[in-house]
Amino acid sequence: MGTVYYAARDGAAPVAVKAIRSEYVLAPGFRGRFLREIENARQVQPFCTAAVLDFDTGDTPYLVTEYVNGPDLRQQITSGVPLSEHDTKRFAIGVASALRAIHNAGVVHRDLKPANVLLAVLGPRVIDFGVAAALVGPARTGADRGDDPDVPQWLTPAYMAPEQAQRARHQGSFDISRPADVFAWAGVVLYAATGRAPFGEGSFAELFDRVVYEEPDLSGLAPDLEVIVRRALHKNPYRRPDAGQLIASLLGDAEAEPADQVWETTIIAPPRQTVPEPTGRPPDIRSLNGDAGGANGAGAGIAPGTRAPEPGRPRRRRRAVAGLIVAIAAVLALVAVLVPTSPISPWHPYARLGACSTVNIYTGQHGTPYNAYGKKLAARITERYPGTAVDVLATNGTGDNLLRLQDPAGATCAMAVVQLNTTVDARFGVNQFSNMPLTDLRTVGPLWFDLLHLIVRADSPITTAAQLCDRTISTGLKSSGTEQLGQVLFQNLLKCTPSKVASDLPRGLADLAAGRIDGLLWAGGAPTPQIVRALGDGLRIRLLPLADELPAMMANWDAAYRFRLGSRFIAGRVYESVPVTSGDYGDVPAVNTIGAPNGLVVDKGADPDLVAFAARTLDIHRADFEWALWGADDGRQFRSVHDAISTSSLYCLVPLASAAEKYYEGLGIRASCASR
């Protein structure tokens, strides 16, 4: 981005002065971004970088940093002096430590590469962090950019992460955050050891497919280091370790586990049970559940204020204890018949669901049917397993939920309420998940449908979806199922691109009422409480019929997935015609619209006890979720679990989790996965 000068004056310590090139200075908004990034850089611990000493954003912006006496890594390797195996590991630890300090300061480097790592005498220093994010270089020529006009000039293709490549090419909503730095760290470490980048050198166009789709060449790395580097090069950013985990693995504090490891369930045993002494009254059953008093369980079963028996009368105590044991054994035998088997009995106050001390349920916006479904499931878990806490988390919607399931630290005890068609997109890396497949997703079971609401004001002249093509509409939040279905409806079917406003449902309804938008798209159960409240506040609406678009929507689905999957394509129901009834929204006329099935999804490493319990709840407590949507006295019912699973291709395209599949097979329920 500029030229670096060595500067010294009056015997003071030398400094490095970087003057910014004029083409960057003229870029719109550069000065503000440059200033913000420098402020971020000053928050970083100076031990790991060249400390910022001064800067100016005037006519010729410049940056003054500590002078680091040493070559950068690229100069070192190209001079023919590679790092030894032990030096490479020291280097890897040093750069990972620098990354951790940078990330702890809230900064993301975004352009870590050999030229940005200086080999100082006392350890590597990472430079130019965060500054790259401030730059919006001028447009490149076609030869430079490989026919990709929006590729940032600062992006170094040989060390870019897949999400950086995708964002540069497709301008999608790919988060460029700390995992991108970890990916680049792995490439830099490989270069230090071998003189090669993991996917070779070349232009953006030449390297795009290799970075996004192909496996890296890690030959030449020491075996223990190769395992760690391979984890850091995972295509899915949510499967990469963070900088702290890199350091722990490099130091031997944590085993470098494969990113796709399935964690085993660990059962936490209840406290040791101690038989209470006789007190002249029936034993306190709570003491049998482990409520022992005193340190280390001493005095368990002795009522407060009761003196412990003296050691001089063993025979009577033994006879009393023996009689009590017989009585307790009879009670426990009866309990064993009446209570389902469990490592810890469900009525025990510390009973946990599998290995989960806390379960996260990712739902949707506050007050939506998804959120209500999550609360019903949470109530069933805490009722049966009081030792497991449950957090029902409001989110942007399906896409957001599926990405949250990629967190390896929390995926074992997490579930998500999602649109199943969008889950298929995620598993195969299409639409909003373009070329970033989430292959570890698994289904647990069905709920109901997200009904596609295309809403206009009652006084609007618009009567068809096509009339909204040149208008302004709300299409839900980023990474939501509504956004994905809107893309299918307007771009794929109607071949148009309305002006879109991303907003949550309450904001979208307010904008519609105020006339700031012409229409609103919402995918959710009917009735949706936020819409009901808006009607109560005076909004008058009409729903546009969409059932006529169903054949084209199914044809679009079949064409898209048959082309991508070939022999793996599975035919079957995906979208369906579902009515919004006249009773759902008061005076709003009934219409037939398109329904997209929804359900529960987990990561394939989810705790099997959690999965089995959730599948059973979806089956035998189906009324809970019907009431969450329609109320206790509505009379409508969800489609049965058997019908939903056995007739839809969705449970083949995103297979059932093993524990759920085992539960359903016990009921004779199987997904029908014959291809055509």
How many alpha carbons lie under 13 Å from residue 590 in its C-beta half-sphere?
8
Residue 501, class by beta-carbon neighbours within 10 Å (0-12 exposed, 13-18 middle, 19+ buried)?
Answer: middle
Residue indicated by tokens 């019912």: 637
Active site residue 584: no
Spell out a b/e string for 277-299, using b for 16 or more CB atoms within 10 Å of the CB, else e: beeeeebeeebbbbebeeeeeeb
CA torsion, ordered 341, 342, 346, 347, to nearest 10 deg: 70
Q: Report the SS3 class of residue 434.
A: coil
DSSP 84-148: PHHHHHHHHHHHHHHHHHHHHTT---S---GGGEEEETTEEEE-STTGGGG--PPPPPHHHHTS-
Distance in angstroms (rounded) separating the CA atoms of residues 236 and 182: 12
Q: Which backbone phi and psi does 19 adopt, to 5 degrees?
A: -95, 130
Beta strands in 566-659 (DSSP E): 576-580, 591-603
Distance in angstroms (rounded) separating the CA atoms of residues 372 and 364: 9
C-alpha distance from residue 12 to each of 9, 360, 396, 434 (Å): 6, 57, 54, 54
Active-site pick, 111, 425, 584, 619: 111
Residue 385, class by beta-carbon neighbours within 10 Å (0-12 exposed, 13-18 middle, 19+ buried)?
Answer: buried
Distance in angstroms (rounded) separating the CA atoms of residues 413 and 403: 15
Residue 560, class by beta-carbon neighbours within 10 Å (0-12 exposed, 13-18 middle, 19+ buried)?
Answer: middle
Mode of pairing for the β-strands spanning 499-501 and 472-474: parallel
Catalytic residues: 111
